[in-house]
């Protein structure tokens, strides 16, 4: 089915008005579709909207069915080469992408509320990023990728201090760069295990430990464990898969270490309306955590560390209250375990806080905080006491990528200049209010609207409905992600403004209207 749609922009969502858009019906004739818009009025021009990315498009433009014919042909070509093209949703024309808009090879311009799996911080082709790449002074770092653990450039220490440590969680004075979120989690966990073993040993390793470790035996390889949570996702390397408990496709056929896990709370939303029920659920999960910790000590399989996401992402955007995380930190203190917070998805302002854990008001920072995605670089922050006790213990060839730190420096400048944390809070509130309105309008299709900043989600009634929503809304010019078994999730860039929220919610509204009459 071919289709053409051009959106009008809207100023804000304050009251109910109607806008209209056009699309082709199955018979090939033009029809108009009413869309619910919550703005005070409809703008036919975006002149009064202050765009955070210069010359950003005014709205989506759909020229073909999504995915279009060129994309489908390229999928066939790719699959012939690597037989792994089933996950490809669109082939993108990155030269034409701008701000919040992704343009595919078929010329379809989509409002991207997923931002490359939450990894685009200030939109596509932002001038500040382009300037970094065009600067001749940066050329040598762009073309020579150093083995950072052995041959870093002379500017590397100051770059770490001026860029990464400038946004370090308070109380975490050390940082280790890595390649991506998965290897950052992997090495943070390894470093935690090294620290725990060193603390228990109380001195240098014995000769027996040195000889037994190379064949994977005790005492060189102690039976210590790391506790994670049901619904978690921490990456797809072998170690991180042991800590991942969300979708079967991630772990099927892969051997796993026998490490403990506990339940993550399944809350009722909005959280403030169900405080008693939610507190009981969190206490149930905390009891499981303590039981696992005690069992580990009793069997000689100490839980050396605990790793947790502030909001479970792949597992279905599951939230918990600050109380839950306060108690987890206390439990780790009680058992002498390392408290690791995985902020790969939630870090860098998307929740309306630079680090999501800041909203918990902990008495002190977590022991380690892992980052990647919107931070461009990967790595983890940690307290002084968790530093490794010897060379090459945390090591790979690259251990990060200096050009990514250059890009992050530009991103942080724009975050500060344009006050993007406030933008995330304001757009997030508009988004959550709109999702709640749609939930009220379509109670048979939607439930459990939830969010923190623009890190938001809403449940469809079943997995089939989730799939329909994702497919149909894409053909209305908006790309939305999914997670868990039946959730639509939002992970826009930090330049996602209220008028972008309007466009996304209008498309979602129209999509639900289509589904409700099927």
- Answer yes or no: 397 catalytic: yes
Cα 363 off chain centre by: 25
**From the candidates 112, 342, 401, 459, which is the catalytic residue?**
342
SS3 assignment, position 405? helix
- Answer yes or no: 200 catalytic: no
Rounded Cα distance between 299 and 278, Å, is: 32
**Residue that is written with structure tokens 């079967």 in the block:** 248
What count of Cα atoms within 13 Å lies in the side-chain half-sphere of residue 397? 1
CB pairs under 8 A, 24+ apart, for 163-167?
163/405, 163/408, 163/409, 163/412, 164/377, 164/379, 164/381, 164/405, 164/408, 166/412, 167/354, 167/412
- Cα 501 to Cα 434, 483, 497: the distances in Å are 8, 20, 7
Rounded Cα distance between 307 and 305, Å, is: 7
**From the candidates 91, 229, 233, 354, which is the catalytic residue?**
233
Beta bridge partners of 490: 456
* β pairing state of 338-342 and 303-308: parallel
Hey, what's the torsion of the CAs at 500, 504, 505, 506, to 10 degrees? Answer: 100
**From the candidates 397, 422, 462, 464, which is the catalytic residue?**
397
Closest CA to 15 of 33, 34, 41: 41
- Answer yes or no: 233 catalytic: yes
**From the candidates 112, 177, 373, 454, which is the catalytic residue?**
373
Tokens of residue 267, six digits? 């809350």
Q: Do residues 414 and 43 lie in contact, with contact meaning Cβ atoms separated by under 8 Å?
A: no
What count of Cα atoms within 13 Å lies in the side-chain half-sphere of residue 188? 40
Which residues belong to the active site? 233, 342, 373, 397
């Amino acid at each position: 089915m071919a289709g053409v749609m051009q959106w009008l922009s809207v100023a804000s969502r304050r009251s109910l008005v109607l806008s209209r858009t056009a699309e082709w019906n199955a018979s090939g004739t033009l029809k108009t579709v009413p869309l619910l818009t919550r703005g005070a009025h409809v703008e036919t021009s975006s002149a009064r909207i202050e765009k955070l990315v210069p010359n950003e498009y005014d709205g989506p433009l759909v020229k073909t069915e999504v995915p279009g014919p060129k994309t489908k042909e390229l999928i066939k070509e790719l699959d012939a080469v690597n037989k792994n093209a089933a996950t490809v949703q669109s082939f993108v024309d990155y030269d034409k992408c701008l701000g919040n808009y992704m343009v595919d090879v078929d010329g379809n311009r989509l409002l991207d509320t997923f931002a490359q799996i939450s990894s685009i911080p200030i939109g596509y082709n932002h001038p500040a990023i382009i300037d970094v790449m065009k600067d001749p002074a940066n050329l040598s770092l762009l073309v020579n990728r150093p083995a950072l653990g052995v041959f870093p450039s002379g500017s590397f220490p100051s770059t770490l201090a001026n860029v990464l440590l400038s946004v370090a969680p308070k109380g975490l004075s050390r940082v280790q760069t890595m390649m991506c979120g998965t290897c950052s989690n992997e090495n943070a966990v390894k470093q935690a295990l090294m620290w725990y073993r060193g603390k228990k040993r109380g001195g240098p390793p014995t000769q027996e430990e040195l000889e037994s470790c190379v064949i994977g035996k005790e005492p060189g390889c102690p039976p210590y464990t790391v506790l994670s949570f049901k619904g978690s996702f921490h990456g797809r390397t072998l170690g991180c898969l042991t800590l991942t408990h969300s979708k079967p496709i991630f772990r099927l056929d892969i051997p796993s270490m026998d490490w403990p896990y506990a339940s993550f709370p399944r809350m009722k939303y909005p959280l403030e309306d169900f405080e008693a029920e939610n507190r009981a659920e969190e206490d149930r999960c905390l009891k499981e955590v303590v039981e696992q910790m005690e069992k580990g000590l009793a069997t000689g399989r100490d839980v050396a560390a605990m790793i947790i996401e502030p909001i479970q992402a792949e597992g279905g955007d599951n939230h918990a209250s600050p109380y839950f995380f306060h108690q987890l930190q206390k439990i780790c203190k009680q058992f002498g375990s390392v408290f690791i917070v995985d902020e790969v998805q939630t870090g860098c302002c998307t929740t309306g806080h630079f680090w999501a854990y800041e909203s918990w008001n902990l008495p002190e920072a977590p022991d380690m905080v892992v980052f990647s995605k919107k931070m461009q670089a990967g790595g983890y922050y940690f307290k002084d006491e968790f530093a490794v006790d010897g060379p090459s213990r945390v090591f790979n060839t690259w251990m990060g990528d200096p050009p990514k730190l250059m890009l992050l420096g530009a991103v942080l400048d724009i975050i500060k200049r344009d006050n993007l944390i406030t933008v995330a809070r304001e757009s997030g509130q508009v988004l959550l209010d709109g999702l709640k309105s749609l939930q009220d309008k379509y109670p048979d299709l939607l439930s459990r609207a939830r969010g923190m900043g623009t890190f938001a989600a809403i449940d469809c009634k079943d997995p089939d409905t989730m799939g329909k929503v994702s497919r149909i809304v894409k053909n209305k010019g908006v790309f939305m992600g999914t997670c868990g078994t039946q959730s639509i999730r939002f992970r826009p860039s930090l330049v996602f403004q209220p008028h972008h929220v309007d466009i996304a919610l209008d498309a979602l509204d129209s999509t639900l209207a289509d589904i409700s009459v099927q």
